[in-house]
Amino acid sequence: MSLSLQSGGTSSRALPHPSTSSGLAAPSEATTRPITTGTSVLGVKYNGGVMLAADTLCSYGSLAKYKNARRLLPVNSRTLVGASGEYSDLQSISDLLRRNALEDRCTADSLYEEETQSEECAKEVWSYLRAVMYNRRNKMNPLWNDVVVAGFKQNADGTTSDEPFLGVVDKIGTAYEDDILATGFGGYIALPLLREKYS
């Protein structure tokens, strides 16, 4: 066996062609377990808004590998996403949401931002991510993240509502809304304390 570089920049061991000696299948390209991970994301609804908080550390096992990793990402002017779990999968989710936002802008009725109401509200992004995570889980290739979506809901006429939205989607597609959310280790430590003090 030899080491080779595959398209897309990933390296893996090159196995012999399946028809040659042993009949082995091609190597799996799914993430089998998280390697470079970020931990807790906290979300809190308050009167007239919603807030997310996360640290910027990504760990490689017990090594603090990246000390300035952004895990809170804006989707559009209405929505903010934060995730714990595998950092490369968060980057994939970010790319996917950016592509969707660009497609929405390109297919809008107007070229001018002030005339378009096509931005997805936070609840639509949350619902879309639920479907993506569930689909990837069913393909046995999950995105190893718990994603918190925060922002504002949308009125029936397409304008932004003043009602805040806070929801979470986990790696298997389970999704729920709440006034206080936490992912990662913060779900065990911070969430009980926040619920006790929240009023």
**Count of positions (residues) in the chain:** 199
Furthest-apart CA atoms within the chain: distance in Å: 67
- Amino acid making up residue 38: G
Does residue 31 carry a catalytic annotation? yes
With vertex at residue 197, the alpha carbon angle to CA 191 and CA 199, rounded to the nearest 5 degrees, is 110
Tokens found for residue 32: 């089998």
Q: Residues 31, 39, 116, 160: which is the catalytic one?
A: 31
Q: Which residues are known to be catalytic?
A: 31
